[in-house]
A and B are shown apart, each in its own frame.
Chain A
Amino acid sequence: MIVSDEEKACLDGRRGDANRLAMELLVEVGRSFGAARLIPITSAHILGHFGSLHQAGIDFLGHLVKGGGRCAVPTTVDPSSVDFDRWERFRVPADYRDRQKKLADLVDALGVIPSWSCTPYCAFNVPRFGDNIAWAESSAVAFANSVIGARTNRTPFGLDVCAAITGKVPEFGLYCDENRKGSILFEVTVTDMSDLDYHTVGAIVGRRSGFHVPVIKGVDPHVSTDRLRTFGAGAASAGSVALYHMMGVTPEASMADPFGGRKPVETIAVGRKEIEAMEETITTAPRDAAIDMVTLGCPLLSLQELKDLAGRMQGRRVKEKMHFWVYMAEETYRHGKGLGLIQPLEKAGVWFSTGTCATISPVKVWGFSHVMTNSAKCALVVPSEHDVAISYRDTDECILAATDPV
């Protein structure tokens, strides 16, 4: 691997301990994946939630801070395991909150933008087409690569923060043109796809793509950004999709042959039958089983989705003993209040939570046995974390389950 003079200075320890360790990790991992060199990045997005990082994460970030580590490029952070403003209401154990606070202090010390959001591309970290970035969070990676045409791998914890503090990343995987070509084709034959369908088709593409880059045909070229977010989240969590090309929609699909001249290894039809079958797979709870909690906002709810929810919730109130939890970024909550969308929903019994989400916070302490959600990613991830049965239904059914007419 070719190492520049500046990179060598880091490896020799002339830029401090943190940079030395970070550069060593970048070079070693890069070597394992055939990287010829390191390349500069324009931004990073790191993980910072205690639920997954554990003490090891605290140790690593602490070690970097102690060694003088500081972000060399604009860096945002994924949701916390704890809503710092509302942790008591959500019954987060105090010692768990303290561990997350420790992580948050370290994230601050590194100079990370305290965004605590899985949708950095919405605000504070907006890449451009062709930008090399180093992002963790598979749903954000799918969006940045596919919808924007920036370039990143699914950056694992550890590599993310090393890239952030050095501003470098090993050039392998999706940083290379030849690895960005599609090799499997999905032909969507349903018209009039609902919000839920975008999650579901994402999950189908994720499950069936393996390590291939999927190309998707047949999706409405006017598809909204929110639906592309949820499609990508489904694909990234049901499988390993980090990049997809959607004909008529995404930039790399439009600019050149997304297959790079090769034929797809497989062509998979996605019709109503396949969508219904996937929905059945995702739902683990029997129909009509009593529901303890309904949750929306995975990926974190957008302002448009909040507006939509407010409309559907008119004349309804959360049932007694029911929990209706909706997750969003802190700035979305603030602007939602400014638009007058939050207050009627809170009055109706909805609990908002910012900077965190159901998949990574200690919801387990509530002892729910059955959760309903309109998100494929949430439905796929929550059961493994919280040992609950899950119902995967559209927003209207979620509202029906959680509320009564006033």
Chain B
Amino acid sequence: MVKGRGVAPGSGEGQALISRSPFMFAHGVEPKTGDVIDKRSDILGHNIKGRVLIFPSGKGSTTGSAWFLEALRQGNGPAAVINVETEPIIATALVLARLLYGITIPLVDRLEEDILGVVDEGILIRVDGDRGEVSFPIA
């Protein structure tokens, strides 16, 4: 169990999907499927649906929160998000999802350990956005 900062509340669990560079939702994730379509992404072609999406921070156009929200609206969002340091596009999208659709996706950042260094692709992780805690591997 690793402690960090709970940014968005709720809890979620799933298999880790890890991107090592800042992640872009604008033209980056196809809302109809959850497929990563950003040609520059190191997880191009992967699908985020139900995964615990781990990436350093968000990046890209100010439209990114709309793209992320649309993916969530269509039921193609991740189970949880873990950032090294979150930024407004990601944080805003998750608040919108909760307030508009009642979709609660936890977001945790500032973990005490280097999350990108200790988590393996595909392992089961549980994220608690209320306590700011991340647990893996889940038995």
Q: Which residues of A contact B (CB under 8 A)?
A: 21, 24-25, 28-29, 32-33, 47, 52-57, 59-60, 63, 136-138, 141, 153-160, 173, 237, 240, 381, 383-385
Q: Determine if A158 and B61 form an interchain contact, defined as CB atoms under 8 angstroms apart.
A: no
Knowing A29-B91, A33-B88, A158-B92 are in contact, say whether A52-B38 is a contact too (CB < 8 A).
no
Q: Which residues of B contact A (CB under 8 A)?
A: 7, 26-27, 31, 37-39, 59-67, 69-70, 72-73, 86, 88-89, 91-93, 95-96, 99-101
Sample (24) of A-B pairs whose CB atoms are under 8 Å apart: A21-B99, A25-B99, A29-B91, A29-B95, A52-B61, A52-B63, A54-B67, A56-B73, A57-B66, A63-B100, A153-B88, A155-B62, A155-B88, A156-B63, A156-B65, A157-B63, A157-B65, A158-B95, A159-B65, A159-B88, A240-B59, A381-B27, A384-B27, A385-B27
Q: Which residue of A lies closest to B6 (CB)?
A: A32
A382 to chain B, nearest CB (A): 10
A56 and B69 form a contact (CB under 8 A): yes
Q: Contact between A56 and B92 (Cβ–Cβ < 8 Å)?
A: no
* Measured CA separation A227–B67 after assembly (Å): 30
What separation, in Å, do the CA atoms of A136 and B65 have in the docked complex?
Answer: 11
- B88 and A59: CB pair below 8 A? no
Question: Residue on A with the closest CB to B100?
Answer: A60
A33-B88, A153-B88, A384-B39 as given contacts; A25 in contact with B66, CB under 8 Å:
no
How many Å lie between the Cα of A160 and that of B64 in the bound state?
13
Instruction: Report the minimum CB–CB distance from B107 to chain A (whole Å).
Output: 8
Closest chain A residue to B24, Cβ basis: A384
> A54-B67, A385-B27 are known contacts. Are A156 and B88 too (CB-CB below 8 A)?
yes
> Would you call the interface of chain B mostly helix, strand, loop, or mixed?
helix
Complex partner residue of A157 from B7, B66, B99, CB under 8 angstroms: B66
> B95 and A56: CB pair below 8 A?
no
**Contact with B7, one of A32, A159, A381 (Cβ below 8 angstroms):** A32
List 6 A-B pairs, minimum CB-CB distance, nearest first. A52-B63, A54-B70, A156-B65, A157-B66, A56-B69, A56-B70
Q: A158–B91 contact, CB under 8 A?
A: no
Return A246 CB to nearest CB of chain B, in Å: 23
Report which of B67, B73, B95, B96 forms a contact with A52, defined as CB distance below 8 A.
B67
Contacts of B100 in A (CB 8 A): 56, 59-60, 63
Q: Output the nearest chain B residue to A22 by Cβ-Cβ distance.
A: B99
Minimum CB–CB distance from A10 to chain B (whole Å) comes to: 14
CB–CB A160/B88 < 8 A: no
CA distance A156 to B67 in the complex (A): 11
- Flag if A156 contacts B95 (CB, 8 Å): no
* B66→A54 contact, CB < 8 A: yes
- Knowing A54-B31, A54-B67, the reply to whether A160 touches B99 (Cβ < 8 A) is no
Assess whether B39 is in contact with A158, with CB atoms less than 8 Å apart: no
Tell me if B70 and A158 are in contact (CB < 8 A).
no
- Given A29-B88, A56-B73, A60-B69, verify A160-B62 contact (CB < 8 Å): yes
Closest to B37 in A: A384
| Residue pair A47, B66 in contact (C-beta under 8 Å) | yes
**Contact of B63 with A59 in the complex, beta carbons under 8 Å:** no
Name the A residues within 8 Å of B62 (CB-CB).
Answer: 47, 136-138, 141, 154-157, 160
Contact B73 A59 (CB under 8 A): yes
Q: A56-B66, A156-B88, A157-B69 are in contact. List 16 more A-B contacts (CB 8 A).
A: A24-B95, A29-B92, A32-B7, A32-B91, A47-B63, A47-B66, A55-B70, A57-B69, A57-B70, A60-B69, A60-B100, A63-B100, A153-B88, A157-B66, A157-B92, A158-B93
CB distance A138 to B66 under 8 Å?
no
Cα of A21 to Cα of B92 in the assembled complex, Å: 13
Contact between A52 and B66, CB atoms less than 8 A apart: yes
Q: What's the minimum C-beta distance from B98 to chain A, rounded to whole angstroms?
A: 9
Q: Is the CB of A60 within 8 A of B96?
A: yes
Residues on B with C-beta less than 8 A from A29 are 88, 91-92, 95
Using Cβ atoms and an 8 Å threshold, which residues of chain A touch B37? 384
| Inter-chain contacts of B86 with A (CB < 8 A) | 32
Interchain CB contact under 8 A, B26 and A52: yes
Partner of B69 from A21, A153, A158, A173 at Cβ < 8 Å = A158
Nearest neighbor of A57 in chain B, beta-carbon distance:
B66
- B135 CB to closest chain A CB, in angstroms? 22
Q: Who on chain A is nearest to B61 by CB?
A: A138
A75 CB to nearest B CB, Å:
15
**Are B73 and A25 in contact, CB atoms less than 8 angstroms apart?**
no
* A138 / chain B contacts, CB cutoff of 8 Å: 61-62
- Min CB distance, B58 to chain A, in Å? 9
- A161 to chain B: closest CB distance in Å? 10
Assembled-state Cα–Cα distance A278/B103 (Å): 42
A160 to B70, CA, bound (A): 17
User: What's the Cα separation between A383 and B61 when bound, in Å?
Assistant: 15
| Chain B CB within 10 A, most for which of A153, A154, A381 | A154
- The CA of A156 and the CA of B73, in the complex, are separated in Å by 17
B56 to chain A, nearest CB (A): 10
